[in-house]
Amino acid sequence: MFFEQLSGNLVQGLILGSVYGMATMGLSLIFGVLQVVNVGHGAFIMVGAFTALILFQSLGVPPILAIPVALLIGMCLGMIFYYGAVKPLVSPSGAGIRKVGRRQLGKAAGVFVAVMIAMRILSGVLDLNIAFSIFIAIILMYAFLVYVYGGRRQEKGPELATLLVTFSLGVILEEVVKQIFTSEARGYNWDLGKLDLGFTVLPFTKILASGGSLTVAVLLYLWFNKTRAGMAMRSVVEDSVGARVCGVNVDWQYALSFSLGIGLTVTSGVLLTMFIPVGINPYMGGGYTLKAFVIAVLGGLASPYGAFFGGVVFGLLENGSYTLLAALPGGEPFALTRFFSFVMLLVILLIRPTGLLRRKG
């Protein structure tokens, strides 16, 4: 009985771990290319979860078909946030804010007054939360356009500033989603049947989620190693100065990597809902952010492939330890599972400080 339960939990952990790994690949990609730690990682996972929920409930689109939509939404968000907030902190040729003159102040005041009037009018025909969200969107878009088309060059910003920026972006996303959908937990039911292995039962939705994660990981590997764009991005990781000398557009590679990393993260939100289709709310990403950082360090913080295999290892440790801890008298396996996983993480890092797939030295 013990070994049957252990085998079942390990299989479940293998499937869940592949989804964990997929959820961490975007984090590792962004850090590997831009040296930016995306503290708002969980908020983008939440966006993917709501994408799957809305498409399924409103249009009847199966979550597996929501993956390309989530990838597109994530890449668009990544481009907007990169050029709007991250670029001046990571790129020496980033656009800084121009000195504001009287004309700019007059334009900004006019736009602000116009938007306030529009918000007041909209509040009479729309829900106040929707009107508020439209107000915020217009202000952010105006600031973004002024920033992109009215900037000047500046030096690269301090690294710690990116932590504040990504944290702020995550909070903004959470609060905007809360204003639109409230903080109530939601879910959906997409049942495709189950596969009985004898020692455990696997829903086909979980198998599809794991297969989708593996497919995305393989496609990313092929893109990095078989395409000119992927090899150009790898050259930026190895030596950005040398890549620039060889004719690589480093600024564009920064933008593309940030956009692709956010796209992968949003996509992982769809896959996670296929595994756990309940509890979808604006603040669901906090726990996933913590696990993603652990997995990223475990697999090598700058290695997307290491992140994927680190996720598999973490999933096996998390689910496998549950069976072992449940056999202890008086123990609480749910409470001790995360403790055991982090202890094993420390042991592995003491043996291999650079992560599983990172070369020493």
In a domain, 94, yes or no: no
In a domain, 199, yes or no: yes
Whole-number pLDDT of residue 141: 58
Rounded to a whole number of angstroms, the distance between the first and last alpha carbons of the chain is: 45
Whole-number pLDDT of residue 97: 44
Mean pLDDT by 10 residues, the chain (361 residues): 77 90 90 86 93 91 92 92 81 50 60 64 57 59 52 53 84 86 88 83 89 91 88 84 83 90 94 88 88 84 83 85 73 72 75 66 42
In a domain, 121, yes or no: no
Query: Which has the closest alpha carbon to 22: 207, 297, 257, 218?
Result: 218
Whole-number pLDDT of residue 313: 86
In a domain, 245, yes or no: yes
In a domain, 173, yes or no: no
Distance in angstroms (rounded) separating the CA atoms of residues 226 and 235: 13
In a domain, 53, yes or no: yes
Q: How many CB atoms lie within 10 A of CB 248?
A: 17
Give the count of domains, the chain. 1
Whole-number pLDDT of residue 336: 74
Whole-number pLDDT of residue 75: 94
SS3 359: coil
In a domain, 268, yes or no: yes
Whole-number pLDDT of residue 249: 85
In a domain, 235, yes or no: yes
Range of the structural domain that residue 269 is part of: 2-72+192-351
211-218 long-range contacts, CB within 8 A, separation 24+: 212/22, 212/64, 212/67, 212/271, 212/274, 213/18, 213/19, 213/21, 213/22, 213/268, 213/271, 213/308, 214/18, 216/22, 216/25, 216/67, 216/264, 216/267, 217/21, 217/22, 217/25, 217/304, 217/305, 217/308
Whole-number pLDDT of residue 122: 56
Whole-number pLDDT of residue 96: 45
